Structure 1
Amino acid sequence: MLSTSNGDLAARWTRLRGERPALRIRDAAATLGVGEAELVALGVGRTATPLASDWRALLNDLPSVGRVMCLTRNEHCVHERHGRFDDVQVSGPHGVVLGPDIDLRLFLSNWRYGFAVREPLKSGERLSLQFFDASGEAVHKIYATDETDRPAFDALIARYRAAAPVAMEISPRAPGAPDRPDAEIDVEGLRTAWRAMKDTHQFFGMLGKFKVGRVQALRLAGEEFSRELPARALRSAIEAAGADGTPIMIFVGNRGCIQIHTGPVKRLVETQGWFNVLDPTFNLHLRDSGVVRVFSVRKPTDDGIVTSIEAFDDRDRNVLLMFGERKPGKPELEQWRALVARIEKQAAS
């Protein structure tokens, strides 16, 4: 276990910032072999304020601060969405935010540390709430913007400031269990259960029932349900949606949060190995090299087939999920199905 009281870490980070001033804090933490939370905690008393871990109450109070920018990321993809915290619902370790702009699925059992962070900039101060898991990895961040009620944001920080210093111990994340051999999977049973699904949320229960990994299931299910595509197909699908205005849903998540964009994407830009959506209320930053496997996937529901494009990295971790815009009780957009069919045809040619 590691502790942020290590004075050597502060010296190492100061030296690293001098050598690479543009390095982002997540990458600095990886370079130094520590959790990002440890670097944030070095600023306690100056740039960082520890927060009490009453996540339910804090989340329920967030509508009071007005519009913010929410950021959720994994190793290869960053999802940024502007809007208000509306319709916040927290029950035990699970929470959802179901506003028209901020749409989140929260897994609060993996939220361990929280800080209010004030970063000095040439143009002023950047204020945020940042939440981390037990390994020190950021699970969710909420940034004040020009549209935020700053007095309300400051009042929220004061209200949830930790009463005592946070004793931080970082536990490296245990590696995930490897998939069972394909020969041990009941493939026909898996396909039968898949065919009987009534809701997309049943998919995860099905994986557990058959003790099969997600990518493993996509490989074994057969073309009735899943087709592997070239890695470039994910980017092609986003570009196609941008070109024809197909409204889509983009899910990006980690162990503590899944963040969802619903709507069109318009301004698509490539910069130094990253493929970006740079729209006024939605930004996406996708590291092309991180996407190793892509599948088109079809799941039966009471509303008809629901089609997705799912991307994974070299360790079979999900990078991004993409759907056509839809609501429960309504069938999938034919425009989205046609888009996926075009992507599959391109891949086959």
Structure 2
Amino acid sequence: MTKHPVSIADTLKQAWQDLLADHPHMRIRDAAATLGVSEAELLATDCGNRVTRLREHWPALLSAVGKLGPVMALTRNAFAVHESTGLYEDIRPCGDAILIAGHHIAFCLLVGIWHSGFAVTEESHRGPRHSLQFFDTGGEAVHKIYLTEHADAGLYRRLVDIFRADDQSPNPVLPAHGPNSPLGDLKQCAKLPESWRRLLLADTSEAAVTGRIGMPALRALMQQLAELMLPIQVLVGNPGAMQLHDGPIQNLKITGPWFNILDQRFNLHLNEMAVAGADIVQLRYRQHALTGLLVRGQNQQSILTIAGQFDEAAGESALWRDLLLALPVIGRV
């Protein structure tokens, strides 16, 4: 275990403030990378001010979130950001994970590797913005929950008081080892719903890669899907969380290197510069054939998964499969 003395925490906080003075719109993730620390370490320097460290009672805390009303949930990795707005309604454990379903949202939260959580108040052009933010053992953000204007701010404040940790010092404490995702254990969970089991199969040895498409073809496919209003599933994950959109997409926009879906309750931001290609994968699930896309980075890491909607009796959408198989491939396996 490593623990920074208060003087180092103060120095780090001052360095962050100096950085913001020169770059007022810099996000904390980028500031942490610039300063050579984790996001959790940087955030902890403001404990006792706009940041409150929370007790590590994740199941109880997430259950309480369900009473707040509509919130915006954010899960990201290095190259994709997934944002959904809705209600945390159906919350149930599955091994070391917590499965959450609700109106317009679905998550699989691998809380076994969560290490720290904070309640955060930030200033925005609309006034104070309140959130709950969770980090893994390496200090990387795994899941964030933001209050919307329709959420219960008073209940949020009471929730923070209830789950407030005794230690509110600015000293971040991180284990010496990094995160190990319990994804393998999750797949063995008997309570894992079939919908999640199917999605997780796409990124395993059971899936056959039949070709790869480039970013232009992926962009064109997403435009087709938006025009057809064809429901799809879009999954973004990291070692501690997976967040799923299940439904159609509509509003697409390119902003610099970012490909964006900007719908009312679902936003996706994909860094096109990081995309090496998207693998077309096929596999059998029970008596049905499944077809999906695995968007991969330059080091072949998984960035996001896209699949068609699935019906237990009829299988996956035939239109989705036809659109996918008609794509121009840049390589075949």
CA spacing shift, 1:228–1:114, aligned 2, 3 Å: same
Gaps of 5+ in 1: 177-198, 208-216
Aligned position for 2:4: 3
Bigger shift: 262-271 or 97-106?
97-106
The code of the aligned residue for 2:173 comes to: E
Once the two structures are superposed, what CA deviation does each residue of 1:35-94 show, in whole Å capped at 9, x if it has no partner? Answer: 011121111111101110000111122211111000000011100000000110124411
Aligned position for 2:172: 168
Aligned position for 1:306: 290
Aligned position for 1:291: 275
2:202/2:292 contact within 8 Å kept:
no
| Residue 233 (structure 1) aligned with residue 182 (structure 2) | no
* Structure 1 length-normalised TM: 0.82
| Residue 249 (structure 1) aligned with residue 233 (structure 2) | yes
CA spacing shift, 1:24–1:302, aligned 2, 3 Å: same
Distance 1:128 1:121 in 2: 12
Distance 2:28 2:128 in 1: 17
How much has 1:2 moved relative to structure 2? Answer: 6.3
How much has 1:153 moved relative to structure 2? Answer: 1.7
1:65/1:148 contact within 8 Å kept:
yes
Aligned position for 1:153: 156
How much has 1:330 moved relative to structure 2? Answer: 4.5
1:104/1:257 contact within 8 Å kept:
yes
The code of the aligned residue for 2:153 comes to: R
Gaps of 5+ in 2: 181-196
The code of the aligned residue for 1:170 comes to: L
* Structure 2 length-normalised TM: 0.86
CA spacing shift, 1:327–1:56, aligned 2, 3 Å: farther
Greater strand content: 2
Bigger shift: 11-20 or 43-52?
11-20
Distance 1:273 1:62 in 2: 34
How much has 1:9 moved relative to structure 2? Answer: 1.1
User: 108, 118, 123: which is aligned to 2:121?
Assistant: 118
Aligned position for 1:42: 45
Matches within 5 A, 1:1-349: 1=2, 3=4, 5=6, 6=8, 7-165=10-168, 168-171=172-175, 200=198, 203=201, 207=205, 221=208, 225-344=209-328
Greater helix content: 1
Q: Secondary structure at the match of 1:46?
A: coil
Aligned position for 1:188: none
Once the two structures are superposed, what CA deviation does each residue of 1:191-242 show, in whole Å capped at 9, x if it has no partner? Answer: xxxxxxxx636848964xxxxxxxxx87xx5xxx521222433323222211
Name the Cα RMSD after superposition.
2.5
Bigger shift: 251-260 or 91-100?
91-100
CA spacing shift, 1:41–1:233, aligned 2, 3 Å: same
How much has 1:15 moved relative to structure 2? Answer: 1.4
Aligned position for 1:214: none
Bigger shift: 295-304 or 258-267?
295-304
Distance 1:281 1:202 in 2: 24
Give identity over the alignment, percent.
34
2:210/2:282 contact within 8 Å kept:
yes
2:212/2:329 contact within 8 Å kept:
no
Q: Secondary structure at the match of 2:316?
A: coil
